Amino acid sequence: MAADLPDLPDLSYDDVLRAAEVVARELPATPLQSHPLLDAAVGAEVLVKHEHVLPTGSFKVRGGVHLASTLTDAEQQHGLVTCSTGNHAQSVAYGARLAGVRATIVMPSTAPAVKQDAVAALGAEVVVRGETLGEAGAAARELAARSGATFVCPTDPRIVLGHATAYLELFRQAADLPVPLAAVLVPIGSGTGAAGACLVRDALAPGTRVVGVQSAAAPAGWRSWRSGTIETAPATTRASGLATTTGYPLPQGILRGSLDDFVLVDDDVIDEAPRLLATRAHTLAEGAGAAALAGLLSPGRPGRSGRSGPVAVVCTGANASAEEIARLGAASPAA
């Protein structure tokens, strides 16, 4: 099923700069580091942006922090409702706690228990509905309509701008490199991170390619980008953070004109990426959080495209489930 892109808010680099001022008051900058053993394993110069070290273990907390600073009077009075498989849920719960407002998070039954527990620990109410993110989203919108709370879409403009601050940091850090970045690889679920990367890249480093990476077992975003319309697709990926069943209009509107490439990778390749991060970069990552690196491991190596210079990959999350951690030892890391 496909739908045309609607009229969308016009987000700018200046909007990202304003969001960065808010986020920097609450969150520290995260490192952009090289790991020689990882370079040797991948066969390329790789810089890892370690977003997993932030509170909640994910870059998405940036969205919640920015959201908290922009709540309307009605949102403060009636609270927030959202849907998520985990990291966006923790982001909104974190932001709601900062702002002192109620938050209800609707999660599908497939969301890892560790992520459900983490949301509850932040003070939000967890409601489990449906087996897919799409079903949870429908339940969340219904709950918001009944309660008077505001439904916070995972691609709310305030969330997108918060996420974009990770890439503002990255490109500012990379400005000191002796050779410019050839590419930045970004995992794509809803596409907010990649949209933020494009907003910043276009202003600061137009010669650097931005490449989106998504699971082939959850290709709705990739289909939407290729067609220029909003597409849906089943999501059977093991990487819960990538398990979106639809494209999202706001990120897609940005990606359509700015994203240089968008690749699909098999779940087995996504599983290999956390092994490499664990064994070659001392970094625990969930599958979705390592998907950017998986793009460098896939056939054709889309991040390179013959260009010289290092490639940056963003480790977006460390909230690995028990099953994901068990899979780290299921095979030997790539040589």
Domain boundaries, the chain: 2-60+157-327, 61-151
Fold agreement (2-60+157-327, 61-151): yes
- Fold exhibited by the domain 2-60+157-327: Rossmann fold (3.40.50)
User: Would you write out the chain's pLDDT as a tens digit for each of its 335 residues?
Assistant: 566 555 678 999 999 999 999 999 999 999 999 999 999 999 999 999 999 999 999 999 999 999 999 999 999 999 999 999 889 999 999 999 999 999 999 999 988 888 899 999 999 999 999 998 889 999 999 999 999 999 999 999 999 999 999 999 999 999 999 999 999 999 999 999 999 999 999 999 999 999 999 999 999 999 999 999 999 999 999 998 999 999 999 999 999 999 999 999 999 999 999 999 999 999 999 999 999 999 999 876 665 555 679 999 999 999 988 888 888 876 544 43
The verdict on domain 61-151 having CATH code 3.40.50.1100 is yes
Helices 61-68 + 87-99 axis angle, to 10: 30
